Amino acid sequence: MASLTAARIFTRRFHVSARRSALARFNMPAMSPTMSEGGIASWKKKEGEAFATGDVLLEIETDKATIDVEAQDEGILAKIIAQDGAKGVQVGAAIAIVAEEGDDLSGAADLAAQAASESTGAEKAPEPSQPAAAEPSKPEPSKPQVETKPDLPAGDRIFATPIAKKIALERGIPLAQVKGSGPSGRIVRTDVENYKAAPTQATPTTSVPQAAADSDYVDTPISNMRRTIGSRLTQSKQELPHYYLTVDINMDKVLKLREVFNKTLTEKDKTAKLSVNDFIVKAVACALSDVPEANSAWLGEVIRTYKKADISVAVATPTGLITPIVKDAGAKGLATISAETKALAKKARDGKLQPAEYQGGTFTISNLGMFGIDHFTAIINPPQSCILAVGATQPTLVPAPEEERGFKTIQSMKVTLSSDHRTVDGAVGARWMAAFKGYLENPLTFML
């Protein structure tokens, strides 16, 4: 369900109108403090359909999740402006027209058209100046005519530089319609780049689908979530001075304790079951309590150290990676952590997380052990200072002088801590890793 913030934004103060034509605009809300645009996943009400308080009007797609938006009062959805699947809708832009029961809906279409034109007015404003600039000089029209010439016959050869061909292929530009400025009319790089900027619309749009249909690849549109992941992780890797610390942890005691706990839990609830990741979340929180410098964030002018461990747990979804938060994990028991993690992971995969459930974590865990990955490094999620990459638990031979054979087999797990050197020095990272390892190799200390 929509958050309280979204509820306030979407509250419409319906009133009694003597003229019974109280049509009003329904604007795109900011579902989180950082949201500037979003998409319309689907409308749950049809045009002309009445809704009551608490009804889900639509689903909005943010950069992290799909969020239900509830009606805060009763009314009628008079006209939909932003249809299902609309992308890049700016916050504050009108997405629908709503009315009260008994209102005259005849003006809804006109109000919707007016709202839509206002939102695109800024983009259309510069257009009138283009014909005005072209009118005074007569020779100008000859250039567009050459550039938009029809495709050359199939047998004609097109002369272009390799880089020009590469750019044209990537951008879907037909070289037959590009005028070359090089020697003997050869097409060079600038010709292709300028062609993209030229206001020719009909010809490129008709040729690109044909090329795509004949190709042996598939282009997938970038979702808001994938775009955000790409920009944030690129920024992190470029700007944050990452360094990495790796240790091997003996998981024998964790696995034995987990087996004992699960036997007890399943007697009460067969669906209740602790995972290794639940122990890891708890150990991370305890280690952050011992070494609070790792539970920090770089904020430009200050380094903020958090008093509670809000652990972001990376979850893979069909649309990308998201990190729901187990808040104040240090104050919670293993059973509570397990139940919360499972519930958050399900909501994440269903795209139903609320902004408060994935924003504001202080430390992130990325576990690929269930996929058989024994070791990897993860990219820090700014402004956090650390992220822990967890590998699979595997049987490993280790020296054991006390054993007759001189060695023994243990269940070993390899973990790697990625740290921001601006906030966490190497010695601090090493102390945190030692504390974390100590808790997992002696898990009864969780109970103390």
- Before 395, cis peptide (omega within 30)? no
Q: Is residue 425 among the annotated active site residues?
A: yes
The residue among 66, 357, 45 whose CA lies nearest residue 224 is: 66
Q: Is residue 310 among the annotated active site residues?
A: no
The residue among 316, 408, 295, 298 whose CA lies nearest residue 361 is: 295
373 Cβ partners below 8 Å, 6+ apart? 391, 392
Determine phi and psi for 388, rounding to 5 degrees.
Answer: -105, 120
Alpha carbon 250 to its chain centroid, in Å, reads: 35
Among residues 110, 328, 350, 425, which one is catalytic?
A: 425
Adjacent-strand bridge partners of 414: 248
Adjacent-strand bridge partners of 420: 242
Among residues 68, 242, 374, 421, which one is catalytic?
A: 421
Strands 56-61, 24-27: parallel, antiparallel or unpaired by DSSP?
Answer: unpaired
Q: Helices marked H in 250-395 — which ranges?
A: 252-268, 276-290, 334-349
315 Cβ partners below 8 Å, 6+ apart? 321, 322, 323, 324, 344, 345, 348, 349
CA dihedral angle for residue 378, residue 37, residue 317, residue 411, rounded to 10 degrees: 20
CA dihedral angle for residue 175, residue 179, residue 182, residue 184, rounded to 10 degrees: 100
Instruction: Print burial letters for 422-440: b (CB count within 10 Å at least 16), e (below 16).
Output: ebbeeebbebbbebbbbbb
Q: Which two tokens stand for residue 339?
A: 């139940």
Classified as helix, coil or strand, 82 is: coil
CA gap 234, 228 in Å, rounded: 10
CA gap 340, 275 in Å, rounded: 12
As annotated, the active-site residues are 421, 425
